[in-house]
Amino acid sequence: MSKVDVVLGSFYGDEGKGKIIDYLGGRADVALRATGGNNAGHSIEVDGEKFVFHLIPSGILNKGTLAIIGNGVVIDPKVLIEEINTLKNKGKDVSNLRISTKAHLIFPYHIDMDKLLEENRGDGKIGTTARGIGPCYCDKYERCGIRVEDLYSDKFGDLVRRNVDDKNKIFALYNKPLYDADLIIKEYQEYANLLKEYVCDTVNLIHKLLQEDKKIICEGAQATLLDIDHGSYPYVTSSNPTIGGIISGSGLNTKDIGEVYGVMKAYSSRVGEGPYVTELTNQVGDKIRELGHEYGATTKRPRRCGYLDLVALRYAILVNGITALCLNHLDTIGKLDTIKLCIAYEYQGTKTEEFTTNEKILRESKPIYEEFKGNFGDLSQIRNRKDLPKNALKYIERIEEYVQIPIKFIGVGASREEMIIE
Ligand code: IMO
Ligand code: MG
């Protein structure tokens, strides 16, 4: 392991980052989240027990691993406390959790604003997770946001009152219920007490740990094509789930970063609206959804499914400096008779291998496929790549040849153990 290794989503989220993070986290001293909020949903299966993480770095499951929620994360304290309690009730130790003083807080008015904005968008809706993520980041950049450290300052009441006054004006305009600042203050003061033991200056902590030669694994949330700058804007989330967000959202610097793992599935999926070149709106797409259990861990929505898109994958590699790939659900795609792999797009009669996030181009691009034989059979017991059936090897070798990056992890089943590691 390098000083700092990073795990990022290569596509539209839900690539199975949790599984890789869980494995790497077992070797790290520190697990770090730097971006997003409880719009993320990372499922991990340990000894037959399923854990779903939305905010806490899943590395916390490994005894002794320090779990840090960095400054770039937006925190809904109610959700965080629920997550802490769930872990405690399952007998897990959470005393190793650390929360950045600088992380911004999600308030109930952010959640209602998220819903109101979606209503107003009508057919142009984004399909957000309705967790208040966008409005909370808006306040951060507008510079009226309220941070974790404000919970412990005498200014807290004033900050909430000012925000509630402003937001109520908008809610009134739309005939929505108004907020009572005093109730929110009281509620958040209780959260402040419950979270106090975990709060610290995580930037200084991270650099102290690095000086002590501790190893850090950064747990990316969301994914490259959901990035506010590099994704399919406006159908994106409100943060930078790409490598830049890891740095700004944690206080790490570039020189400590070693491996950047790009996680993908052997097929693809997307939740929410927006263009998706390899989407299958037919029975094959339905079959992939059922075989891969592609229903949201956060919102339970059925995910849109399709074949793997190497044009988009190569873009993710470029934008993030991905050094190795993690391919999940090889077993799932191997249940189809025929598998397709998108190796180029056709746009207005011209073939291209260049990915662009322009909405019109993405919507009008048609995938150009190569075909592979499926029916891989049961892969769940395979732990060495060379033992994979010929058809499966052909498929993954073509991916590597196209993107010129090695696949180091291959998921062959849902559980922690069902993985080939190179
Ligand atoms: P993980 O970490 C998949 C999508 C939403 C919506 C858009 C904006 O599990 O991969 P937001 O609530 O963030 O404003 O919604 O982004 N989205 C995700 N899709 N996995 C996620 O996280 C996502 N987080 C946000 O569906 O289209
Ligand atoms: Mg998700």
pLDDT (tens digit per residue) in 296-337: 888 899 999 999 999 999 999 999 999 999 999 999 999 999
- Per-residue model confidence (pLDDT) at position 102: 98
| Total domains, the chain | 3
- Per-residue model confidence (pLDDT) at position 85: 98
Nearest to 220 by CA among 32, 29, 356: 32
Q: pLDDT tens for residues 77-92?
A: 999 999 999 999 999 9
Least confident residue range of 60-64, 130-134, 315-319, 370-374: 60-64
Q: Does 252 share its domain with 226?
A: yes
**Span 341-361, average pLDDT:** 97
Is residue 220 in contact with ligand 1, taking CB distance under 6 Å?
A: no
The verdict on whether 227 is a catalytic residue reads no
Q: Which of 42, 54, 104, 329 is catalytic?
A: 42
Q: Does 282 share its domain with 359?
A: yes
**Span 34-59, average pLDDT:** 92
**Span 169-192, average pLDDT:** 98
- Per-residue model confidence (pLDDT) at position 155: 97
Distance CA 115, CA 403 (A): 39
Q: Does 91 share its domain with 134?
A: no
Please, what is the average pLDDT of the chain? Answer: 97
Contact 16, 276 (CB under 8 A): no
Q: Does 85 share its domain with 227?
A: yes
In this structure, the residue with its CA closest to atom 11 of ligand 1 is 128
Residue 36 predicted with pLDDT over 90: yes
Residue 271 predicted with pLDDT over 90: yes
- The sign one gets for the Cα dihedral 296, 302, 308, 312 is negative
Q: Which ligand 1 atom is nearest residue 39's CA?
A: 24
- Per-residue model confidence (pLDDT) at position 170: 98
Our mutation pick for probing the ligand 1 site, out of 39, 111, 225, 300, counting the most ligand atoms within 8 A of Cβ, is 39
Q: Which residues, by Cβ under 5 Å, contact ligand 2, an ion?
A: 13-14, 41
Q: Which of 14, 112, 227, 331 is catalytic?
A: 14
Ligand 1 centroid–CA 297 distance in Å is 11
Q: Is the peptide bond before 275 cis (omega within 30 degrees of 0)?
A: no
Q: Does 309 share its domain with 377?
A: yes
- Per-residue model confidence (pLDDT) at position 115: 98
CA 237 → CA 23, 221, 253, 344, distances in Å? 27, 11, 24, 26
- CATH number of the domain at 175, please: 1.10.300.10
Is residue 127 in contact with ligand 1, taking CB distance under 6 Å?
A: yes
Token pair in block for residue 378:
């049961």
Q: Which ligand is nearest to the CA of 129?
A: 1
Distance CA 217, CA 22 (A): 10
Q: State which residues form the domain around 54.
A: 4-100+200-260
In this structure, the residue with its CA closest to atom 6 of ligand 1 is 128
Ligand 2 centroid–CA 137 distance in Å is 19
Domain termination site, one of 260, 284, 303: 260
Is residue 238 in contact with ligand 1, taking CB distance under 6 Å?
A: yes
**Span 18-45, average pLDDT:** 92
Is residue 269 in contact with ligand 1, taking CB distance under 6 Å?
A: no
**Span 109-130, average pLDDT:** 97
- Per-residue model confidence (pLDDT) at position 26: 86
pTM of the model: 0.97
Ligand 1 centroid–CA 225 distance in Å is 10
Ligand 2 centroid–CA 53 distance in Å is 10
- CATH number of the domain at 356, please: 3.90.170.10
Residue 375 predicted with pLDDT over 90: yes
Provide the pLDDT confidence category of residue 20 given band limits of 50, 70 and 90: very high
- In sequence order, the 6+-apart residues with CB closer than 8 A to the CB of 228 are 236, 237, 238, 239, 240
Least confident residue range of 13-27, 105-119, 282-296: 13-27
Domain termination site, one of 194, 217, 235: 194
Our mutation pick for probing the ligand 1 site, out of 12, 222, 246, counting the most ligand atoms within 8 A of Cβ, is 222
Is residue 14 in contact with ligand 1, taking CB distance under 6 Å?
A: yes
% of the chain exceeding 70 in pLDDT: 100
- CATH number of the domain at 84, please: 3.40.440.10
**Span 221-242, average pLDDT:** 98
The verdict on whether 14 is a catalytic residue reads yes
Q: Which ligand 1 atom is nearest residue 223's CA?
A: 10
Residue 415 predicted with pLDDT over 90: no
Is residue 221 in contact with ligand 1, taking CB distance under 6 Å?
A: yes
Q: Does 84 share its domain with 180?
A: no
- Per-residue model confidence (pLDDT) at position 140: 98
Q: Does 304 share its domain with 188?
A: no
Q: Which ligand is nearest to the CA of 298?
A: 2
Token pair in block for residue 249:
């959202």
Residue 114 predicted with pLDDT over 90: yes
- Per-residue model confidence (pLDDT) at position 25: 86
Ligand 1 centroid–CA 349 distance in Å is 32
Ligand 1 centroid–CA 306 distance in Å is 17
Domain termination site, one of 179, 194, 209: 194
Is residue 68 in contact with ligand 1, taking CB distance under 6 Å?
A: no
Distance CA 112, CA 103 (A): 20
**Span 126-138, average pLDDT:** 98
Residue 1 predicted with pLDDT over 90: no
Tell how far CA 420 is from the center of its chain.
22
Q: Does 76 share its domain with 204?
A: yes
Q: Does 347 share its domain with 382?
A: yes
Provide the pLDDT confidence category of residue 22 given band limits of 50, 70 and 90: confident
Q: Does 176 share its domain with 268?
A: no
Residue 175 — left, alpha, or beta (φ > 0 → left; ψ -120 to 50 → alpha)? left
Is residue 13 in contact with ligand 1, taking CB distance under 6 Å?
A: yes
Q: pLDDT tens for residues 186-219?
A: 999 999 999 999 999 999 999 999 999 999 999 9
Q: Does 167 share its domain with 306?
A: no
Ligand 2 centroid–CA 131 distance in Å is 12
% of the chain exceeding 90 in pLDDT: 93
